[in-house]
């Protein structure tokens, strides 16, 4: 058996993390709090300025924040309903949350040879709220988790052989 998660386990984790993320978005959207945090609407507006402005263009990017979230949001930001509800940015954060949960799960399985509960990589209640805000924090966590997984997994066999 391979030391990392099998495809079925990863698929199950994607389903569980997606369900958690969508349910949390449903709750927070029904309470109308997805864009309450000031930076959430600011991130949406920066992306919107690229397509809807007196002088539209990529020159609008790169103010205070790194532009990755804004560039990814460009695919959806032109839709008024997605922009007003915050879903244009939340979908990016939700996808980053799911991919990050899979990366963390694979890292735990690879390092410990233990298969934890599938929802354990996505059960942080703080993440339930942050996942649904259109901000850069979740994308940063995704990048960090994916990088750590990519760097660590090839190094483990070499370390085990050396000792």
**73-96 tens-digit pLDDT:** 888 888 889 888 888 888 888 888
C-alpha triplet 26, 65, 105: angle, nearest 5°: 55
The predicted model gives 28-48 an average pLDDT of 83
Q: How confident is the model at residue 119 (pLDDT cuts 50, 70, 90)?
A: very low
pTM above 0.85, yes or no: no
Q: In the predicted model, what is the mean pLDDT of the chain?
A: 75
Domain count, the chain: 1
Could you tell me the residue range of the domain that residue 84 belongs to? 7-154
pLDDT beyond 70 at 43 = yes
In a domain, 52, yes or no: yes
88-110 in b/e burial notation, b at 16+ Cβ within 10 A?
bbbbbbbbbbbbbbbbbbbbbbb
The predicted model gives 99-112 an average pLDDT of 77
Residue carrying structure tokens 């007003």: 84
In a domain, 2, yes or no: no
pLDDT for the residue numbered 158: 52
In a domain, 1, yes or no: no
The predicted model gives 51-78 an average pLDDT of 80
CB 35 within 8 A of CB 134: yes
Which has more confidence, 92 or 128? 92
CA atoms of 17 and 123, how far apart (whole Å): 8
pLDDT beyond 70 at 10 = yes
In a domain, 87, yes or no: yes
Q: How confident is the model at residue 15 (pLDDT cuts 50, 70, 90)?
A: very high
In a domain, 160, yes or no: no
In a domain, 48, yes or no: yes
In a domain, 162, yes or no: no
In a domain, 163, yes or no: no
């Amino acid at each position: 058996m391979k030391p990392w998660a099998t495809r079925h386990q990863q698929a199950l984790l994607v389903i569980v993390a997606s369900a958690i993320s969508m349910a949390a978005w449903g709750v927070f959207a029904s309470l109308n709090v997805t864009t309450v945090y000031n930076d959430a609407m600011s991130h949406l507006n920066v992306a919107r300025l690229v397509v809807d402005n007196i002088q539209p263009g990529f020159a609008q990017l790169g103010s205070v924040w790194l532009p990755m979230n804004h560039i990814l949001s460009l695919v959806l930001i032109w839709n008024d309903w997605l922009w007003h509800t915050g879903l244009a940015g939340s979908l990016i954060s939700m996808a980053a949350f799911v991919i990050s949960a899979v990366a963390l799960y694979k890292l735990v399985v690879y390092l410990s040879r233990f298969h934890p509960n599938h929802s354990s990589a996505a059960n942080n209640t703080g993440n339930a709220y942050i996942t649904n805000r259109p901000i850069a924090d979740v994308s940063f966590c995704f990048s960090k988790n994916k990088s750590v997984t990519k760097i660590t997994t090839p190094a483990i066999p070499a370390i085990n052989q050396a000792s």
